[in-house]
A and B are shown apart, each in its own frame.
Chain A
């Protein structure tokens, strides 16, 4: 699925919803079946740490391992079907100006930052903190820490080498690049706009994302 770039025909002025997510903040909302979600990398190389849940049964959720295994490719791009833990299609990527997105690297957390960077990074802000606040502030959804599993990192480039290494390469994304997916069921979308200050992937400079939703349901 790597390298499949495709522009969208959707017009931002016709979106039913649009919102900027500043770095270090989250966005959580339901995107209905048939609707199209676009995530825009406004200033470039910013990680959109993204999770999906079936709005009717939150124990069914995005599964990175099922998604990459069934498409036989570790990278996400246009055409990728984002599968659930039950093997159902939750959404499909229908437009992508970047060509490759990561779903191996997971989200940052204060605890993993201590391992990756230094023990004194423990108290720095992280995606998992944003996720935990999101589910606490929306406890009517019935989500908690155990639902915060293996996410997608839109706009991040994490190449796997033939001999089994994992590298963190310069992003393929840039200002204004975007990825778009069409919901195949009613999904709860949870995005943390990554606050990471220790990783050169975002040039140590976390920047805003924007989300747009179009009512493209043709049922």
Chain B
């Protein structure tokens, strides 16, 4: 197993092979992990939040759900989750939002305690792979819960992210993962929330016929079939 700690307000990226389990742990509580997914063979194939939600008739993400690319394939499945609700419709804070809510803390003055924002974090990580502004998309915000009232009003649950909560992603395809630990854009905490996240990588158990994610909805069975066709033809061959 490989384990690393990403401090709060930072960013990272890695390419995860199919068959890998990636666990995120909210070590101290209050964490948010922004995440985007791309096909490393063809980064034009990317995480599609609208397809992920409408294919599974869900607004929240939790155990049993699959994260879809725009090509009808599954980057990863949520095989375990103690948090119960993760957001994928609120995007990121940008520099202006962070400055207006928590004040500008420049790198010059604060060094590692500057107040990085999720939007810039994704631009930096994406840039390492030739991705830019045009390649950003609606991201996942792990550990953050934003619920919706009947009239459509959105509410950030400031009590949702608890110490020790974790979520397990099983990757069904080779996937480029961009991530940041910057604050959720609706977090109204008095101080810039700076909470570390543990990232643990290990080999996943093989996907069985009775797999929870594969069988949680008939749509996901077809998503797995699409992903298996892609692997059958060789990664990068495209379908």
Listed in ascending order, the chain A residues whose CB lies under 8 Å from chain B are 1-3, 58-61, 63-66, 68-69, 72-75, 85-87, 100, 104-107, 109-116, 118-119, 128, 145-147, 149-150, 158, 160-162, 164-168
Contact = CB atoms under 8 A, between A and B. Distances in A.
B150 A162 contact: yes
Contacts of A60: 133
Contacts of B89: 64-65, 68-69, 74, 104
Given A74-B152, A105-B50, A165-B57, 17 more contacts: A58-B134, A69-B185, A74-B154, A85-B136, A100-B152, A104-B53, A104-B89, A106-B54, A107-B50, A115-B226, A119-B226, A147-B134, A150-B138, A162-B147, A162-B150, A164-B59, A168-B54
Contacts of A59: 132-134
B154 A68 contact: yes
A73 B133 contact: no
6 contacts: A87-B96, A100-B152, A104-B53, A111-B71, A115-B51, A146-B135
Contacts of B91: 63, 65-66, 69
Contacts of B211: none
A86 B133 CA distance: 10
Nearest to B145: A164
A60 B132 CA distance: 11
Interface string B201-239: 000000000000000000110110110000000000000
B57 to A, nearest CB: 5
A162 B148 contact: yes
Contact of B72 (A63, A86, A114, A146): A114
The 8 closest A-B pairs by CB, nearest first: A106-B50, A65-B91, A111-B72, A164-B60, A75-B152, A160-B148, A59-B133, A2-B152
Contacts of A68: 89-90, 154
Contacts of B1: none
Contacts of A168: 54, 57
A110 B239 CA distance: 12
Q: Which of B68, B133, B186 has the most CB of A within 10 A?
A: B133
Contact of A166 (B44, B53, B70, B223): B53
A45 to B, nearest CB: 17
A150 B50 contact: yes
B137 A150 contact: yes
Given A150-B49, A160-B59, A116 B54 contact: yes
A92 to B, nearest CB: 17
A115 B223 CA distance: 6
Contacts of B82: none
Interface in B87-137: 89-91, 94, 96-97, 132-137
A116 B154 contact: no
A105 B54 contact: yes
Contacts of A1: 152
Nearest to A143: B134
A114 B54 contact: no
A213 to B, nearest CB: 26
Q: Which of A69, A147, A167 has the most CB of B within 10 A?
A: A69
A145 B238 CA distance: 15
B70 A112 contact: yes
B151 A73 contact: yes
B48 interface: yes
A167 B226 CA distance: 24
Q: Which of A1, A72, A147 has the most CB of B within 10 A?
A: A72
Nearest to B137: A149
B4 to A, nearest CB: 28
B152 A112 contact: no
Contacts of A119: 222, 225-226
A127 to B, nearest CB: 11
A168 B60 CA distance: 15
B158 to A, nearest CB: 15
A65 B138 CA distance: 7
Interface string B26-57: 00000000000000000010001111011101
